[in-house]
Amino acid sequence: MITSASRLFGVVVLASALCACVGCGSGPEKSARRYIAALQEHDVESLKKMIAPDVIVTAGRTGTTGPDALLKAVDFQAGIRTTYVCAKMVVRGDTVDVDLLEKSDLGTAIGIPETHHYERFVFEDGMLKLREIRRPTDEYQLFGERVRRLQAWLQQFHPEVAAQIEDPQTGFKADRATGELLVRMAKEWRETQPLE
């Protein structure tokens, strides 16, 4: 005999499975879910196939633009062990507004264990054409301020490390090794700094 509780449990399980389904939804929704899943896995090869050659990117702490810079940023995110949770997704035509919760080892090390991102993705034929911030957050700005303080501390107390993470052309090496090194140094920095 199937009880009301059993039916409710079945509906909840089915609804959860449908919401998490990477292949479900409209074309742009499917593309957005595949894109977020690839970000979560730091899967640069899959992302290469999803990003249009003329993509415009205005999201990100480092102000990356174009596919190459965006893919390098993903490699850096792997180094700082970034994870994403999609809290909300609204689809309007080819536009997908997403609310993401980001966590990373770097964020934890500098005292900001999570940041909220309110972003807009525009897809055309399954390819990401635009990624932009819909609404900046205070925690996003605080993250940037703390990273700048960390960089100043590195220049003062560990100039060899500061030189190692800097790129003469772009100002910052956005790769996995730099991310891993920055997390280690941020943990040391945090022990010496008041955060407020």
Q: Is residue 1 part of a domain?
A: no
**Residue range of the domain that includes 123:** 20-191
Q: Is residue 69 part of a domain?
A: yes
The enclosing domain of 109 has a CATH number of 3.10.450.50
Provide the pLDDT for residue 35.
95
Q: Is residue 30 part of a domain?
A: yes
Q: Is residue 59 part of a domain?
A: yes
Provide the pLDDT for residue 60.
54
The count of structural domains within the chain is 1
Q: Characterise 42 by phi-psi region: left (phi > 0), alpha (psi -120 to 50), beta (else).
A: left
**In terms of DSSP bridges, do strands 115-124 and 127-135 run parallel, antiparallel, or are they unpaired?**
antiparallel
Q: Is residue 11 part of a domain?
A: no
Q: Is residue 5 part of a domain?
A: no
Mean pLDDT per segment of 10 residues, for the chain of length 196 residues? 35 33 67 95 95 82 68 91 95 96 96 93 94 88 91 95 84 87 95 79
User: Tokens for 101?
Assistant: 């919760």
Q: Is residue 135 part of a domain?
A: yes
Residues 6+ apart with CB under 8 A from 61: 140, 143, 144, 147
Alpha carbon distances (Å) from 75 to 67, 71, 180, 189 = 13, 7, 11, 23
Q: Is residue 13 part of a domain?
A: no
Provide the pLDDT for residue 193.
81
